[in-house]
């Protein structure tokens, strides 16, 4: 191999690394509107009426008009969704934090940090399925 070929290869690798980093910085942010949209798109027959997104924008809870609650979590550059029917096991270790057990081994327990954690805990446990 000659020097120009080696330098060209290193330059090409550097360009690919910069492109990958640029795409990563443009990762999707999960706000209430996006959470409602994703849940309706990913769960057949689901109509969102209220959403609460985690403060770090990595997870969300979305209440549907049929009483189901969709749990969204970031998986790489995308979001995964699970529709859950109350009662759902959850804990509130801190006032604004819920740990929700999806009851699926591969989806696992999801932590959601939201301001109205008490209201959502009641909904998850089946105490209040009404929207705002």
pLDDT in tens, the chain (132 residues): 688 888 888 888 988 877 776 665 555 678 999 999 999 999 999 999 999 999 888 999 999 999 999 999 998 888 999 999 999 999 999 999 999 999 888 898 999 999 999 999 999 998 765 544
DSSP string for 60-78: EEEEETTS-EEEEEEETTE
Element (H, E) at 51: strand 48-53
pLDDT attached to residue 24: 55
pLDDT at 16: 81
List Cα–Cα distances, 79 to 14, 41, 56, 128, 129, in angstroms: 29, 11, 14, 26, 24
Q: Domain ranges for the chain, please list them.
A: 32-125
| pTM tops 0.85, yes or no | no
């Amino acid at each position: 191999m000659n020097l120009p070929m080696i330098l060209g290869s290193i330059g090409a690798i550097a360009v690919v690394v910069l492109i990958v980093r640029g795409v990563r910085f443009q990762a999707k942010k999960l706000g209430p509107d996006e959470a409602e949209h994703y849940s309706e798109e990913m769960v057949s027959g689901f109509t969102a009426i209220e959403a609460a997104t985690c403060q770090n924008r990595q997870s969300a809870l979305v209440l549907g008009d049929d009483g189901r609650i969709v749990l969204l979590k970031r998986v790489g550059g995308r979001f995964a969704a699970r529709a859950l029917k109350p009662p759902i096991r959850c804990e509130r270790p801190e006032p604004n934090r819920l740990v929700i057990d999806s009851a699926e081994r591969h989806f696992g327990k999801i932590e959601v940090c939201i301001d109205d954690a008490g209201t959502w805990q009641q909904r998850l446990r089946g105490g209040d399925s009404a929207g705002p």
